[in-house]
Structure 1
Amino acid sequence: MDEPVRSPRRGPFRTADVARESGYSVQQVRDLERLGVIPPAARSSNGYRSYAPLHVHALRAYRGLAGAVGPVVARQLLAELRTGTITEAASAINEVHVRLAREREEALRAQQALRTIRAEADTPEFERDSEQDSDAMTITELSRALGVRPSTLRFWEQEGLVTPERVTSLRARRYDLSAIRAARVVTALRSAGYGVPAVREIVGSLHQLDGMEEAGRVLRERLDQIALRTVGLLRAGADLAAVVTAAQESAEAPPPEADVRK
């Protein structure tokens, strides 16, 4: 279980102190300073680094942001927080929360789509139509039904995600109920953010008895991951506020008096 959030003690800090307070190793602290995650440390006359509490706050904030949106975006965001206005900072942090909420909604919609597909597959009508194949669709009809472009369906075919039949002398595509079902699962998983390799693995198991269960398990794991990322971002809230506040105070501080001596 994670430790409760606590304020760092007063500085100045050595590199080892910052590592202990932030939960990173000494080498990671140096690497993250080099990458610009934290401002450069002050240097003493003998070359030793000297850090302030703000560096600890920035490192803790980075941990939460990196878990929520990835390390590259987290580095960019922290740089913006240290240089932007408080309004810009609040907007940037809010956008991260919105992004996580959007991912969660997409996963929930995909989960609901799978429930609908499973319910349809359990009906006598589905079994009868599967035998008669009366509800087959053309690529245009299926793309409209799914809300995707025909080119997307062709790409999924190239990647082995959905396999239509080929009919007529013009070799026009025709999707039977099995292909339609696979296409709906692919749409649900892709909308939830899953890459082609993961989707291919799930679609490949659809002919098995546990195929739908596997797809459902993947989406449940996705929702759990989003929840953990959200909690991590919430835990970083106090440290993010400290970074933003320090940037605001620095921006509002009066400039040092100019030396007018000749």
Structure 2
Amino acid sequence: MPADDGVPMSTAAAGAEAGYSVQQVRDLEALGVIPVAPRSSSGYRRFSEEHVRHLRAYRHLANSAGPVVARRVMRDLRRLPRAQAVALISGLHAGLNAEREHALSARRALESINDEAVTDAVPVDDDSMTITELSQALGVRASTLRFWEKAGLVAPERVATPAGTARRYTLPAIREARVTSALRAGGYRIPEVQAAITAIRDLGDTSNSLTALDARLDSIAQRTLALLRAGALLAEIIETASAV
């Protein structure tokens, strides 16, 4: 049962209310996540429901944005003007939504490429692009395509030219570049993209990559729910700070 604001709590009691150990409460106070607790005449910390509110808000915020960001946000909320504090929380929601959109874009690209792998398994001579054409089509630099090639993500052919040799991207290489572009936009690291490309090369199977994207979307949904749980608590913290 929540304690009344007027009844001081010990460190252990405040921790029990919010689900933290005594040492965790002390650490979070030292980090500025919660306001500094006043001391009794005998030197013991005396916590209030305001401190418990901060502790609970931090838990949800850490589950959503990670502990580093959550610590910074909790400190900033008590010092920023109301409008800026509200904008800070809005930014977290916007960031999660951007992650979700990137993951959805990557999933759509993989589904499209998977369909192509069935219908266009054998490219014809005209279905190829130069490095300049492909970079323009994907909206990336030619140097990025060369880096992807070096990392084993894209395998263009080499064709003879009067000046020597040039890269030529046939349909398989174009698909690889599209997969790489989609996954990199979705936040995937190079080793994760390499695993996806390997799946694509093995008979065009993208099921593992699609499963990974679904797992990421579920993780984003869980983080969004955690941020929503923190919402009412954070609103009270902002209103209390702006009233001081």
Q: Structure 1 vs Structure 2: percent identity of aligned residues?
A: 51
Question: Contact conserved, 2:114 with 2:204, CA < 8 A, in 1?
Answer: no
Deviation, 1:186, is: 1.1
- Compute the TM-score of the two structures, normalised by the length of structure 1: 0.85
Determine helix, strand or coil for the equivalent of 1:78: helix
**C-alpha distance 186-34 of structure 1, shift in aligned 2 (>3 A):** same
**C-alpha distance 159-37 of structure 1, shift in aligned 2 (>3 A):** farther
Of 212, 215, 222, the residue aligned with 2:209 is 215
C-alpha distance in 2, partners of 1:185/1:91? Answer: 35
Deviation, 1:209, is: 4.6
Deviation, 1:210, is: 7.4
The corresponding residue for 1:116 is 112
Question: Contact conserved, 1:54 with 1:246, CA < 8 A, in 2?
Answer: no
Determine helix, strand or coil for the equivalent of 2:206: helix
Work out whether 1:156 is the aligned partner of 2:148: yes
Of 192, 195, 214, the residue aligned with 1:201 is 195
The corresponding residue for 2:178 is 184
Superposition pairs for residues 26-45 of structure 1, below 5 Å? 26-45=22-41
Gaps of 5+ in 1: 1-5, 251-262
Deviations 1:95-150 (A, max 9, x none): 11111111111111111111211122221xx1342xx3531222111111111111
Deviations 1:189-211 (A, max 9, x none): 11111122211222222222573
Determine helix, strand or coil for the equivalent of 2:201: coil
Question: Contact conserved, 1:86 with 1:248, CA < 8 A, in 2?
Answer: yes
**C-alpha distance 112-214 of structure 1, shift in aligned 2 (>3 A):** same
C-alpha distance in 2, partners of 1:8/1:150? Answer: 62
Deviation, 1:212, is: 0.5
C-alpha distance in 2, partners of 1:153/1:9? Answer: 61
Gaps of 5+ in 2: none
- Compute the TM-score of the two structures, normalised by the length of structure 2: 0.90
